[in-house]
Amino acid sequence: MAEPLIRLLLADDHPVVRAGLRAVLETEPGFIIVAEAATAEGAVTRAAEGDIDVVLMDLQFGKGMNGAEATAVITSRPGAPRVLIVTTYGTDADVVPAIEAGATGYLLKDAPPEDLAAAVRTAAAGRSALAPAVADRLMNRLRTPRAALTRREVEVLVLVAEGLSNQAVGRRLHLTEGTVKSHLAHVYAKLGVDSRTAAVVAATDLGLIRR
């Protein structure tokens, strides 16, 4: 008896990327691409129709909802499809929110086609499918918790790296300026630095935030 087809939804705002994923996955036995979505909101809507097993989800969609937010909505529903993140970003600032949102797997776009196919099958079976670099990053967070920043600390540091003042960071994240300073103090202690600039440099070198 033949194995049931794994039904896929490709969610990425770049048509070329979707075409590339389709070209790779359509050659694999047991896969059928049911639909595509160019926005995260579109992916949420389409995934709710009940005929998708795995959503291949990008993280960045320009304006509107991002991939992690869409993943949280999709996976919160009963009988939800699995979500496999397929992105170019592998920092803690990207990986942790996506995993916390309920993603079953996380793969980088430079992965070989055979790794992509294997990750889809693994995700469809409900098992974790992580790119080696992502798995290493998560393991390092567990081994060295002192250097691991919380999600909020990463959010603060990302905005600091963009050049925002403590006051501006507070407005963006709906925090008081004192709370922002407290988060930065914790960041400094964890990274062993004593300034905003040094914290950004250290976090970038450690792959906690994007270059």
**Cα dihedral angle (140, 144, 145, 151), rounded to 10 degrees?**
-40
Q: What is the pLDDT of residues 55-95, one digit of tens each?
A: 999 999 988 899 999 999 999 999 999 999 999 988 877 88
CB 119 within 8 A of CB 109: no
- Rounded Cα distance between 204 and 24, Å, is 33
Q: What is the per-residue pLDDT for 192?
A: 85
Question: What mean pLDDT, rounded, does the chain reach?
Answer: 90
- Rounded Cα distance between 124 and 129, Å, is 10
Q: What is the pLDDT of residues 93-109, one digit of tens each?
A: 788 889 989 999 999 99
Rg of the chain taking only CA atoms, in angstroms: 19
- Rounded Cα distance between 112 and 91, Å, is 20
**Topology (CATH level 3) of domain 145-205:** Arc Repressor Mutant, subunit A (1.10.10)
- What are the extents of the domains in the chain? 6-141, 145-205
Helix (H, G, I), strand (E, B) or coil at 171: helix
CATH architecture of 6-141: 3-Layer(aba) Sandwich (3.40)
Whole-prediction pTM = 0.74
Q: What is the per-residue pLDDT for 145?
A: 57
CB 109 within 8 A of CB 17: yes
